[in-house]
Structure 1
Amino acid sequence: MELAEFNALDAAESARVVGVWAAIPEWVQSVVDGRPYRTVDELVAVAEGLARDWTRADLDAALSHHPRIGERPAGTGAEAAASRTEQAGMTDADDDVTALIAAGNRVYEERFGRVFLIRAAGRTPQEMLAELKRRLSNDPDAEVGEALAQLAEIALLRARGDVIETASTSTPTETGVPS
């Protein structure tokens, strides 16, 4: 949707949109309350700044909505659709890589008590597996930090994917024609 449309949504609908980016109620409300945004970059900068305050409790709340890496997201809603798009690279994964990720997911959940979260968009299954193995050696506090950083990356990518510049908010070029 265009930025002007996002800015004009009623509070409940805009919260539904932002909640798909990261299901952290206080963050969602703050992003919604920050409207109107002049540019998508401003929207993303505010969302990113607010994400720096996320806590372990926020992470746990948000992860209740995230599927495991390598598992097909269930449902028909916007969040499931976003997850399916982000994890599209897993459809081409070799069976052995898929099995190793599934086994790693179980170990991760036993160790940290939550699903393994990684920005899947732009990563190969082998890269995700390597990160899973590496992060299994983290101590719990370091892993919370890494998982929160991944959640923020996912949220900001989703925001940029959902909201585009409005023609009237595009930055003029040197010729005065919007880019």
Structure 2
Amino acid sequence: MRQRISTALMTLVVLGSLGGFAAIGTAQTADVPTNKTVTLTNDTEPVTVSVGWNDSISDPANTSATVTFYNETEYATDPATATIALEDTIAADADNTTEREYNQSDGNLTLGSEYRVVVSGNASAIDSASISDSSGFLGGVPGVSGDSGGLLVGLAVVGLAVIGAAVWTMRD
């Protein structure tokens, strides 16, 4: 009986570790929408926009991405007539990722306001684009501002696996 329990516990530890590592990997590589609603608060600023550029950009001096902060309420009603609170351009940097941070000191952004952030540009030049805010801890907490919280969940699973392995090795 004890042998079965030990085998079952070890199986759970191994599977938990694999699941934890998969969750950590997902947290760091998951696609983030390039059209995201953010509420600017002391807890969420700065809002970071990252653009990953591919290496085949033929004219980097004339290639860029546009970042636009729209009034969210107006954008939800009619994107074509929504008020623009801030518009910025991020210059291309072939085969690199460019990050830009935005906070209440930029343009007409104000604390407590909700914005739709849209990143647009030539799809042949942009490999990836992401929008994130500063809410959560180490990748987010599950259920906070739409983040998966994969890093914390992954670390928790790995932690439980380590504890399980310690208990298994310390048994009588």
Which structure has the highest strand share of the two?
2
Which structure has the highest helix share of the two?
1
- The TM-score, its normalising length taken from structure 2, stands at 0.25
- The TM-score, its normalising length taken from structure 1, stands at 0.24
Name which one, 1 or 2, has greater alpha-carbon Rg.
Answer: 2
Q: Using CA pairs under 8 Å that are at least 6 residues apart, name the structure with larger relative contact order, 1 or 2.
A: 2
